[in-house]
Amino acid sequence: MRTTIHILILLLGSWGWHTGYAAQQCATPDSTVLSSIVRIAGDDGSAGSGVVIAPNRVLTAAHVLNEAKTAYVGYNETFKEARMLLIDDENDLALLEVPTDDLPSLQPGTRDLRANDRVWAVGYPRAGDLTMTPGVLERDDGSTLHTSAEIDSGDSGGGLIGCQEGHHILAGMLRGYGAIKQDGEYIKIANYSASVAARNISEFILVSNILAANGTIDMR
């Protein structure tokens, strides 16, 4: 059974996300960090990416699994059936339960990125190999991070990795890319991607914990 919710942005609106800080530089994410990014597939043929955010918990984009009745998470060349725990259509977030074995978790950042901070978009474009694209934060409109890190179909649900106090963090979840309509066709905008901000991911995780504590969803 999956539970669908619509999270109110005001839920955690009092958090001090815009406090200034001195960001420390991080090197390019290594194989350990990248192993937190997994494949997502649906029984309807859909394909996307996901992020291990806690043991046996994987975050992905809700739209990847919109038409799927069963979700699968792939890593180490194996796909495992996952249970859909929680869906937030408004923020395009979905939480899956699946054995993650010894895969490391990537935690959402606790502070906002600032303009021109470095980011890396990581996912499985077109159900192919893992790809990492560097970029910078161009704009934060309060819920969506707009960056110069280019992505493609299949990257949705993957990780926008950033740096906080010298450590790699989940700055956002890849949601989509921009396109313009020209002569009846859509042409992808180069060097652009949109991601769900870490603050919204943290709210989603908090709500899932509250629902689990109240017995609304079974998180065993």
Query: Which domains does the chain possess?
Result: 33-213 (2.40.10.120)
* Phi, psi of 86, rounded to the nearest 5 degrees: -155, 140
Residue-level pLDDT at 11: 27
Residue-level pLDDT at 204: 96
How far from the centroid of its chain's Cα atoms is residue 52's Cα? 9
For residue 208, how many other CB atoms are within 10 A of its CB? 22
Residue-level pLDDT at 19: 35
Residue-level pLDDT at 200: 96
What is the rounded distance in angstroms from the CA atom of residue 49 to the CA atom of residue 37? 7
pLDDT tens for the chain, 220 residues: list them. 554 443 332 222 223 333 334 445 899 999 999 999 999 999 999 999 999 999 999 999 999 999 999 999 999 999 999 999 999 999 999 999 999 999 999 999 999 999 999 999 999 999 999 999 999 999 999 889 999 999 999 999 999 999 999 999 999 999 998 888 888 888 888 999 999 999 999 999 999 988 878 777 655 4
Total number of residues shown for the chain:
220
Residue-level pLDDT at 90: 94
Amino acid type, 98? V
CA dihedral 43, 48, 204, 117 (to 10 degrees): 180
How far from the centroid of its chain's Cα atoms is residue 17's Cα? 19
| Closest to 59 (Cα-Cα) out of 206, 215, 207, 201 | 201
What is the rounded distance in angstroms from the CA atom of residue 172 to the CA atom of residue 161? 7
Enter the tokens of residue 86. 């929680």
The string of DSSP codes covering the chain is: --EEE---GGGGTTS-TT----PPP-PSP-HHHHTTEEEEEETTS-EEEEEEEETTEEEEEGGGGTT-SSEEEEETTEEEEEEEEEEETTTTEEEEE---TTPPP-PBPSS---TT-EEEEEE-GGG-S-EEEEEEEEEE-SSEEEES----TT-TT-EEEEEETTEEEEEEEEEE--EEEETTEEEEPTT-EEEEEHHHHHHHHHHHHHHHHTTSS---
Residue-level pLDDT at 7: 34
